[in-house]
Structure 1
Amino acid sequence: CMFGEGSATIEKIICAEAQSLCSTMFDAAPDGLSLDLSPELTRAVTNVICSLCFNSTYHRGDPEFEAMLYYSQGIVDTVAKDSLVDIFPWLQFFPNADLRRLKWCVFIRDQLLQKKYNEHKAHYSDHVQRDLLDALLRAKRSAENNNTAKISADSVGLSEDPSVGLREG
């Protein structure tokens, strides 16, 4: 259980990812290979977050990680643009390559997050808390048993827009 143990567990996760990043660089160095550090740094940071949230990590070349890189970059590329759709929302009803790409990337992201959520629900145990998602599932189950606060996929961060979770939570 990593919760309630202070920052020691987080420090171990960060150190393990830093060591993995160093190993990747050292493996490329003797052969004189050039190495794009951007995906490696992204993987290290993603692994820290995924360890805490999903109790999982990615390795180099992992197809799920590659999909995550693709959708993340697609979302950044399309949202960061100054698009006319941002100014004139009614333009979304006309053919728009950027909006189509954004919707596709959000769809891929949502599929991945839904898969993680479903895997956790299938293997959930009241007696074991592996990560943050287990804590959220426990809170959801507790709320359902006590007929209290409503927790949904939207309010645990699986929504298309974080503001949706804040409004409905």
Structure 2
Amino acid sequence: MDSVLSILSSVILFVYNIIATVVVWIWDLIVGFFSFLADIPITQYSWLNAIIAFVILMVLIGIINSVISSIKAKARAAEEEKARELRRIKEEELEKEYRIARRKRWEEENTCPECQAIGEFVLDRTEEIDRYDTNKEVEEKLANGKTKTRHIKCTKVVEREHYHCDECGYKFTVTLEARELD
């Protein structure tokens, strides 16, 4: 729709420019012809009339062009609003699907294998299995706008959490991924 309005606006502007030019030429020919026939020099008034006619035509072309531009802008705004609404709906659907999948995964991960109770686990204790020093890449921004990569030392720890089911008393452990200590 936007491209059709754009083409239509260009065609109308082109046609009105041609019409304005032709009208001015015809006006000049008529004035010149009758001045020649009457052997009267061309007066300032005939040129003034031609200029006034030209200005009126240009104003009309400008008005028509602004009307077409506002129609195009409204159509573009409506299309953008429609696209935003479709994106919002799609994002809401994806968020809903993600929440459902996350809930299913949480239920699978938090279901007692013995009694099938969901989320009835109690953390008994946390035990540190391993602690090690490692290097980490950090990018820092310099005053001149460039970035510099540095390697800094950090300590990581691997932990094991001990749980029991509040319903049946089933005990199990979970080994967590290595995390960085502050």
Relative contact order, higher structure (CA 8 A, sep 6+)? 1
Higher helix share: 1
Give the TM-score of the pair, scaled to structure 2: 0.28
TM-score by length of 1: 0.29
- Structure with greater strand percent: 2
